[in-house]
Structure 1
């Protein structure tokens, strides 16, 4: 056979010729989204990324919605919860920090992490998206909370985390090189007689620290939960 000829397996693409799996397709999709965003992902571009005809992709994932769900699953699968940790508050803090780290590592995937699971009935979500719920419920019920209270804690924690990472990733400073905080944030565009407290807090708003904000929010959340929930039974 002449050099560079094909053996009937398909056209020469210069891309890997190994087997295509669901995992390899989702990994390629994650790479595209990480680099160019969700809107840049298409089934054709995904097929090009793995060096195959689009019909090969459809054998593993029937449509773009399934790909997006799979990408969210791929990232959620990296979030681990130690349900055997005897210190439930410390473990919730570790989970929160790990979730923020994933969000910062994949900022363009965050909208999927927040919205895709919520758009699907619980029993139809990918297992990786449900495992954090199961693990946190086990952590808290093992600590002595009732199932209902454990679910309340989970919802409060992840509601806070979703809001936090969206807020942190969308913090925009209009003029990063400007020393005046009002100008840095573009607050000079607001009516002068309005929003006095926002203007007063301009130095703090301009000096946003996502890690510190997360810890402060966790302090408030966990303090509030421990003050209002019944004591664990053991």
Structure 2
């Protein structure tokens, strides 16, 4: 007697399982935000557009970034990656110059980078590492903790402010500072002899030369104070 045949398995009529939404990764999200920033600028960077870029619902972003300012802080922290390594210049003022240049380069690497950075207060390793290196250079040169901190803030604020103006003048489609022809015409027609003599600089677009000039003034003052054996006045 033969064994009873096994009945055929019933067809699986369940609908196929939907794929899980992508796991939200903070590092990947910040990278996507920087890509959107470079493509469209800060004004077009919204939480909704970022959510679409990483394939999640907009509300999911708020698990990592409670506000857009939190996102900008994380982006600013990412911009300073690699900036904290101690410069090799043997002179302390040369090391400060290198750090300021490094920061400007990092902000210029992204469209509206200085706008993103301004007003953020990251406590991440990149930001704190950069500040530690900067203040460490000053401390080793003989400046006290307060003077070193104030000097660091002064140089950082100068660097961010200069880069803000630089990036505002060089938005896509612009050729340099706002309408230099209009400025030249207004100055020459208005009888401003000192401004007329300064027009080549005022209407120029050599932002690196201007940055280096201002940074040089700051460092010149610091060197003078250092030679005098006293730090900046509180």
Asked if residue 88 in structure 1 is aligned to residue 85 in structure 2, the reply is no
Deviation of the 1:127 alpha carbon = 4.4
Q: Which residue of 2 aligns with 1:213?
A: 210
Deviation per CA, 1:175-220: give whole Å up to 9, x if none.
969xxxx963533245833533222211222333122222222222
SS of residue paired to 1:186: helix
Q: Where in structure 2 are there 5+ consecutive unaligned residues?
A: 1-14
Deviation of the 1:98 alpha carbon = 1.1
Q: After superposition, where does 1:68-87 map in structure 2 within 5 Å?
A: 68-82=72-86, 86-87=90-91
> In 1, distance between residues paired with 2:175 and 2:95?
36
Deviation per CA, 1:114-138: give whole Å up to 9, x if none.
2223xxxxxx744433332222111
Distance 1:150 1:199, change over 3 A: same
Q: Which moved more, 1:214-223 or 1:84-93?
A: 84-93
Q: Which residue of 2 aligns with 1:22?
A: 26
Deviation of the 1:48 alpha carbon = 0.7
State the structure with more CA Rg. 2
Q: Give the superposed CA RMSD.
A: 3.1
Q: Which residue of 1 aligns with 2:37?
A: 33
Choose which of 19, 23, 38 in structure 2 pairs with 1:9: 19
> In 1, distance between residues paired with 2:144 and 2:58?
49
Q: Which residue of 1 aligns with 2:138?
A: 140
Deviation per CA, 1:129-161: give whole Å up to 9, x if none.
333222211122123222122123212211221
Verify the 8 A CA contact 1:73 1:126 in the aligned structure 2. Answer: yes
Q: Where in structure 1 are there 5+ consecutive unaligned residues?
A: 12-16, 118-123
Q: Output the TM-score relative to the length of structure 1.
A: 0.76
Asked if residue 154 in structure 1 is aligned to residue 152 in structure 2, the reply is yes
Deviation of the 1:71 alpha carbon = 1.0
> In 1, distance between residues paired with 2:141 and 2:85?
14
Aligned residues: 212
Distance 1:144 1:176, change over 3 A: closer
Q: Output the TM-score relative to the length of structure 2.
A: 0.76
> In 2, distance between residues paired with 1:83 and 1:138?
12
Q: Which residue of 2 aligns with 1:187?
A: 184
Deviation of the 1:83 alpha carbon = 7.0
